[in-house]
Amino acid sequence: MDARDRLILGLDVPTVGEAEALIRTLGETVSFYKIGYQLAFVGGLELAHDLVRDGKSVFLDMKLLDIDNTVAHGVENVAKMGVNMLTLHAYPKAMRAAVAAAKGSDLCLLGVTVLTSMDAADLVDAGYDTDPRSLVLKRAEQARDAGMGGIVCSAEESSAVRSVIGPDMALVTPGIRPAGSDAGDQKRVVTPGDAIRNGSSHLVVGRPIVKASDPLAAAKSILDEMALALSA
């Protein structure tokens, strides 16, 4: 994969119209798009079908978690959409049900470990008696053993996670911020180049491109940084 295959643009905008305008602006520079809750509930799933039809890659960031039967049926229907990636929270039973449901399809299932907006204090508030890194590594191991296609984690942990999951699983890292940019509500952020060097296979970038005065130039700059890291 080259840098273009590894950059996932987060369509974190309030309307499908704004998403479509951004997609037109980025043209052939970006080929992989993430659709999450914000857009999914206002027509984003229909947009996903359109993107697949147009030859784009699509990552549905739905973070599924429910009883096994419900997760399995959801995954079965997502697989029929022809999208490339789907997230679910990295709970062992849910992951095993999802893997069984996706068998025979090309859908890459991603286990979400610890959200990049959470730090150690947030985990304590949520009732966990561990630190983010330890929990990420535990869930990465469980995802590997369940047969998942990949992991979502902060690029701060990607090198350690890569040593757990091996070379073949996808390692998708949000919370990517070019040097000097605002971290926003993210607490564990990494630059695009460092994320690649740490072992990330795909980088999810939203606000640094979406909110830029020139989104196309911002995307090209990030791709250049990724390409430089890949060639090192």
Annotated binding site for substrate: 12, 34, 61-70, 116, 177, 186, 206-207
Q: Residue 184 and residue 209: Cα distance in Å, rounded?
A: 13
Catalytic residue among 50, 66, 119, 122: 66
Q: Residue 101 and residue 146: Cα distance in Å, rounded?
A: 12
Concerning whether 66 is annotated as a catalytic residue, the answer is: yes
Catalytic residue among 50, 54, 56, 61: 61
Instruction: From 112, 47, 41, select the one nearest 83 (Cα to Cα).
Output: 47
Catalytic residue among 2, 50, 56, 63: 63
Number of H helices, E strands in the chain: 12, 8
Phi-psi region of 104 (alpha: psi -120 to 50; beta: other; left: phi over 0): left
End-to-end CA distance of the chain: 15
Concerning whether 63 is annotated as a catalytic residue, the answer is: yes
Query: Residues annotated as binding site?
Result: 12, 34, 61-70, 116, 177, 186, 206-207
Coil, strand or helix at 190: strand
Q: Residue 176 and residue 28: Cα distance in Å, rounded?
A: 21
Concerning whether 103 is annotated as a catalytic residue, the answer is: no
Question: Residues with catalytic annotation?
Answer: 61, 63, 66
